[in-house]
């Protein structure tokens, strides 16, 4: 069973988190290269899962379009929202208050070498987590992430009940089979931030964005959600968490 260092770094500016994530990625790759004479999985590897929450920020993936950002630079500054172009897959995504942002930095050669399975596993961790709150998460063919359809658990009614509602966005990048980036899971996220972008570049009228709190009609304890998400992640990836300590 692989061990994964776990860190919840709390609220962290996106650039600082990106620098830290990159440093952890570099350390894992360097460790891998220093053991390249050994088969993958036969030596301890320094996998990491980082939980964080960012101040409001939009990030644009390498396949994204600036047309999906509906604000000018001045408007971004006025609203206090940062913007970054980054090297993950996917289009424009929001990170901000009330999200659980997860950055798994894993050497997939120690688990499996299948990028599609990796993304499905990330989705599954969120699907199992929201199921514990009576919310049914689903996948939609041709799209990544986790979606909710049909009447919400809280019983509210409106035009959104007929739409597919994205509760978790996923975008990843791999280098030497070592993962970067991850997911943005809307727990208590203010959904107004999504009005200033075309989320993930999806323009279909039958799709929108949601949060766990919006589906439930109340504010869940985010620490409880984190613990449940950690549990399902470990179960799906067949790993155990250890507390990260600087070497």
Expressed as residue numbers, the domain containing 131 is: 2-243
Q: Give the residues of the chain that fall short of pLDDT 70.
A: 89, 155-158, 244-247
For the entire predicted model, the pTM comes to 0.92
- Is 239 part of the annotated catalytic residue set? no
Given this model, what pLDDT does residue 137 score?
Answer: 96
Which is nearest to 2 in space by CA: 175, 243, 230, 242? 242
- Domains: count for the chain: 1
CA 106 to chain CA centroid, Å, is: 14
Q: At what angle do helices 115-131 and 222-237 cross, to 10 degrees?
A: 140
Kindly write down the DSSP assignment for every residue of the chain, as one continuous string.
-EEEEEEEEEE--HHHHHHHHHHHHHHHHHHHHHTTTS-TTSS---EEEEEEEPSSEEEE-TT--GGGB-S-HHHHHHHT-EEEE-SSSSSEEEE-TTEEEEEEE-BGGGT-S-HHHHHHHHHHHHHHHHHTTT--EE--TT--SEEE-SS-TT---SGGGGSEEEEEEEEEEEETTEEEEEEEEESS--GGGGGGB-GGG---TTEEE--HHHHHTS---HHHHHHHHHHHHHHHHTEEEEE----
d(CA 139, CA 129): 14
d(CA 154, CA 194): 21
Given this model, what pLDDT does residue 75 score?
Answer: 94
Given this model, what pLDDT does residue 247 score?
Answer: 44
Tokens of 179: 């993962």
Which is nearest to 171 in space by CA: 66, 58, 94, 90? 90
Which is nearest to 56 in space by CA: 39, 71, 42, 44? 71
pLDDT tens for residues 158-187? 677 788 999 999 989 899 999 999 999 999
Given this model, what pLDDT does residue 42 score?
Answer: 81
Domain harbouring 64, CATH code: 3.30.930.10
Within a 10 A sphere around the Cβ of 209, how many other Cβ atoms?
23
d(CA 144, CA 147): 9
CB 179 within 8 A of CB 104: yes
pLDDT tens for residues 233-247? 999 999 999 976 554
Catalytic residue among 110, 168, 200, 239: 200
């Amino acid at each position: 069973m692989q061990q994964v260092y776990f860190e919840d770094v709390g609220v962290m500016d996106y650039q600082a988190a990106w620098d830290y994530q990159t440093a952890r990625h570099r350390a894992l790759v360097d460790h891998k290269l220093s053991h390249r004479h050994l088969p993958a999985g036969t030596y301890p590897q320094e996998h990491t899962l980082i939980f964080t929450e960012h101040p409001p920020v939009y990030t644009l993936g390498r396949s994204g379009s600036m047309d999906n950002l509906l604000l000018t630079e001045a408007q971004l500054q006025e609203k206090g929202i940062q913007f970054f172009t980054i090297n993950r897959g996917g289009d424009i995504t929001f990170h901000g208050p009330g999200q659980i942002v997860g950055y798994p930095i894993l050497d997939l050669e120690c688990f499996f070498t299948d990028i599609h399975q990796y993304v499905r596993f990330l989705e599954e961790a969120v699907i199992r987590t929201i199921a514990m709150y009576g919310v049914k998460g689903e996948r939609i063919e041709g799209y990544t992430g986790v979606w909710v359809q049909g009447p919400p658990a809280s019983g509210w009614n409106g035009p959104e009940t007929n739409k597919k509602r994205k509760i978790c966005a996923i975008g990843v990048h791999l280098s030497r089979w070592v993962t970067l980036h991850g997911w943005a899971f809307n727990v208590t996220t203010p959904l107004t931030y999504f009005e200033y972008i075309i989320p993930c570049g999806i323009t279909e009228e039958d799709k929108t964005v949601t949060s766990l709190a919006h589906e439930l009609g109340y504010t869940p304890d985010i620490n409880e959600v984190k613990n449940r998400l950690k549990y399902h992640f470990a179960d799906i990836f067949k790993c155990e968490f250890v507390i990260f300590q600087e070497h």
